[in-house]
Amino acid sequence: MNRDAIPQNAGPPRRQVAAARDFVRLGAIERCVDFFVHHLEESIGTMNPLFIRSTNPTPRDPRIVSSLPHRKRYRRVLRMWVFLLPLVASIAAAESEPSRPNIVVVMADDMGWGDSATYGHPQIQTPHLDKLAAEGVKFTQCYSACGVCSPSRSAILTGRTPYRNGVYRHLSGNHAAHLRASEITYPKLLKSIGYATCHVGKWHLASKPQFNTADYPQPGDHGYDYWMATHNNAEPSHKNPRNFVRNGEPVGELQGYSAPLVASEAARWLSDLRDKSKPFVLSVWFHEPHSPIATDPQFRKLYDGHENATYMGNITQLDHALGIVLQALDQEGVRDNTLVIFTSDNGPVARFGGTTGGLRGGKRSDHEGGIRVPGVARWPGHIEPGTVSDVAVIGTDIFATVLDITGVPLPKDRTIDGVSMVPAFKGEPVERKIPLFWRTHVSPPADRVALRIGDWKLVGDETLTKFQLFEIQKDWKEEHDLAASMPEKTEQMKQRMLEVWRGIEAEGPDHWWKNERQQPTRGGKVNY
Ligand SMILES: [Ca+2]
């Protein structure tokens, strides 16, 4: 399993190799320059007096004769320099190119589309997220891969829709499903090309009995050199949690609230622990605002007198923690070469105080309220500050995006559902061979499955026999079901949905969901 493997001694030799490479490259430039200067000086030094003195030489001047070889030599050096200059320039340009970008993915837990000032909430203060959006791009139609936790997280790491990668459900109890070692994650791929990798916060990609055991893959097995995580929620509360595990070792009780604790660990890794000769992958998966909600009084008091003060303060607490991570990037001087993505793993829970901003449904639903989430990205020099992008993107796209900008090819031995969202950073469309697809096993029976192609969204029931059709760009609240009035479009979308689902069933570990002992809930007939 090697889950605790931290390549403590991997740094120095690689640093030496890098230093040697730099020496050779820089040496090449210097040698070229030396060579040129030497020959130029030699030639000019020899010829200079002649040229100065023989501006108008007469044919009788004997010095003309002696200068001819030097002129030839001078021309030869110039010709050589004409050829060498582009080479030297290209070496110099390569030296000045930034190294591979760092990747930071910050994720909230159960934060709704409407739960921030950035996305229009009239009271909730989120100054750091606002600033991040102002410095980068805000996606108005960013989706999580599922209406619940674990599946969305699995899709971010693998680029594969949850039923295909196996993590089809939230992994809170005793379930067989987990993020298998056979899945390929982007931290693992980037680690293989020399990235330092760190995960802090919620993990939730194994069942509770599987977490931090040798028999199942842990964060370290999925590519993280360093990790400090909880299985699911911070317990017994998000205040003074006792269930964090750092690189396989229980941490014991921590004083404070989860989001700042997680952010501080991320900042500590950035400043003190990582190998600074390497680019890095950092995943910061906060617990907030998932229940049990615990809000520091300093943030709650911002909303004194409001019935939703605890929840709203919890979002501001999360935003404060985001600020800690962003400040650490600034202090480390890596801001300009770092892609930061902020998103949420699923929609909000209204009874705890979350809001979808008017979208239909909430957590667990495949209507927009369950799956449309905040999505902000900053990458200086690559994303125009203040961009607002209406292009539909999904957490599943993070995998392909990260591979795209780091120059790593997509795995060819498996289906990758996500695509690079780089065009969407500029508001340009992305091309999807596999449409956006959702299946949330605990959804209400009528919206178990959804498919989106362009502006059209089909919502299917658990038996895949009843469908609703929405033109989502116009009808973002999903109030007007067009299935009856547009039977041909509905049938076309239905056939595509069934085709996508059949492909997933054929590829995913379907025994996991078909053998699930849990009975269907909420009046449903199908338990997955
Ligand atoms: Ca969640």
Same structural domain for residues 364 and 404?
yes
Q: Tens of pLDDT along 416-468? A: 999 999 999 999 999 999 999 999 999 999 999 999 999 999 999 999 999 99
CA of 174 from ligand 1 middle (Å) equals 18
For residue 196, give the amino acid letter: A
Same structural domain for residues 142 and 28?
no
What pLDDT is attached to residue 86? 55
Provide CB contacts within 8 A for 76, sequence distance 6+: none
Q: Look at residues 96, 128, 150 and tell me which one is the last residue of a structural domain.
A: 96
- Confidence grade of residue 516 (pLDDT, cut at 50, 70, 90): confident
Q: Tens of pLDDT along 130-175? A: 999 999 999 999 999 999 999 999 999 999 999 999 999 999 888 9
Same structural domain for residues 213 and 154?
yes
CA of 345 from ligand 1 middle (Å) equals 5
Same structural domain for residues 78 and 127?
no
Q: Are 494 and 460 in contact (CB under 8 A)?
A: yes
Q: Is residue 6 part of a domain?
A: no
- 249-275 average pLDDT score: 98
Give the up-direction half-sphere exposure of residue 253: CA atoms within 13 A in the CB hemisphere. 6
CA of 233 from ligand 1 middle (Å) equals 10
Q: What CATH number did the domain enclosing 215 receive?
A: 3.40.720.10
The pLDDT of residue 101 is above 50: yes
Q: Tens of pLDDT along 164-173? A: 999 999 998 8
The pLDDT of residue 214 is above 50: yes
Interatomic CA distance for residues 168 and 184, integer angstroms: 16
Give the up-direction half-sphere exposure of residue 458: CA atoms within 13 A in the CB hemisphere. 28
| Residue labelled with tokens 């020399």 | 194
Classify residue 382 by its DSSP letter: T
Q: Is residue 525 part of a domain?
A: no
Q: Look at residues 96, 125, 144 and tell me which one is the last residue of a structural domain.
A: 96
Q: Are 275 and 256 in contact (CB under 8 A)?
A: no
Q: Tens of pLDDT along 337-347? A: 999 999 999 99
Q: Is residue 68 part of a domain?
A: yes
Q: Which two tokens stand for residue 393?
A: 């993107």
- 217-236 average pLDDT score: 97
- 355-366 average pLDDT score: 98
Q: Which residues are catalytic?
A: 149, 204
Interatomic CA distance for residues 396 and 419, integer angstroms: 8
Classify residue 98 as exposed, middle or buried by CB count within 10 Å of its CB (0-12, 13-18, 19+): exposed
Question: For strand 280-285 and strand 102-108, is the pairing parallel, antiparallel, or unpaired?
Answer: parallel
- Confidence grade of residue 502 (pLDDT, cut at 50, 70, 90): very high
For residue 392, give the amino acid letter: A
Q: Supply the angle between the helices 63-96 and 11-53 in degrees, to the nearest 10.
A: 150
The pLDDT of residue 517 is above 90: no
Q: Is residue 521 part of a domain?
A: no
Same structural domain for residues 187 and 243?
yes
Q: Tens of pLDDT along 38-82? A: 555 554 444 443 333 333 434 444 444 445 555 566 566 556 655
Same structural domain for residues 256 and 199?
yes
Same structural domain for residues 236 and 250?
yes
Provide CB contacts within 8 A for 209, sequence distance 6+: 174
- 308-333 average pLDDT score: 98
| Residue labelled with tokens 């990609």 | 205
Q: Is residue 523 part of a domain?
A: no
From 289, 245, 280, select the one nearest 265 (Cα to Cα): 245
How open is the CA angle 277-136-403, to the nearest 5 degrees?
A: 50
CA of 110 from ligand 1 middle (Å) equals 4
Q: What CATH number did the domain enclosing 468 receive?
A: 3.30.1120.10
The pLDDT of residue 30 is above 80: no
CA of 192 from ligand 1 middle (Å) equals 29
Q: Is residue 314 part of a domain?
A: yes
The pLDDT of residue 298 is above 70: yes
What pLDDT is attached to residue 368? 98
CA of 151 from ligand 1 middle (Å) equals 9
Q: Look at residues 434, 458, 479 and tell me which one is the last residue of a structural domain.
A: 434
Same structural domain for residues 311 and 184?
yes
Query: What DSSP string runs through 361-381?
Result: --TT-SSHHHHEE-EEEE-TT
CA of 40 from ligand 1 middle (Å) equals 68
Same structural domain for residues 373 and 459?
no
From 274, 284, 98, select the one nearest 191 (Cα to Cα): 274
- Average pLDDT of the chain, as a whole number: 87
Q: Tens of pLDDT along 182-199? A: 999 999 999 999 999 999
What pLDDT is attached to residue 520? 81
Q: Is residue 7 part of a domain?
A: no
Q: Percentage of residues in the chain with pLDDT exceeding 90?
A: 78
CA 116 to chain centre: 20
Q: Is residue 4 part of a domain?
A: no
Q: Percentage of residues in the chain with pLDDT exceeding 70?
A: 81
What pLDDT is attached to residue 412? 97
Interatomic CA distance for residues 281 and 103, integer angstroms: 5
Same structural domain for residues 77 and 184?
no
Q: How many domains does the chain fold into?
A: 3
The pLDDT of residue 19 is above 60: no
Question: For strand 456-460 and strand 467-471, is the pairing parallel, antiparallel, or unpaired?
Answer: antiparallel
What pLDDT is attached to residue 383? 98
Torsion of CA 426, 428, 434, 436, to 10 degrees: 70
Query: What DSSP string runs through 211-240?
Result: TT-TTS--TTTTT-SEEEEESSS-SS-SBS
CA of 304 from ligand 1 middle (Å) equals 27
Same structural domain for residues 24 and 131?
no
Provide CB contacts within 8 A for 416, sequence distance 6+: 159, 160, 399, 400, 410
Residue 323 or residue 40, greater confidence: 323
CA of 84 from ligand 1 middle (Å) equals 58
What pLDDT is attached to residue 73? 62
Same structural domain for residues 418 and 320?
yes
Provide CB contacts within 8 A for 393, sequence distance 6+: 139, 141, 142, 143, 375, 421, 424, 430
Q: Are 13 and 277 in contact (CB under 8 A)?
A: no
What residues make up the domain containing 401?
Answer: 102-434
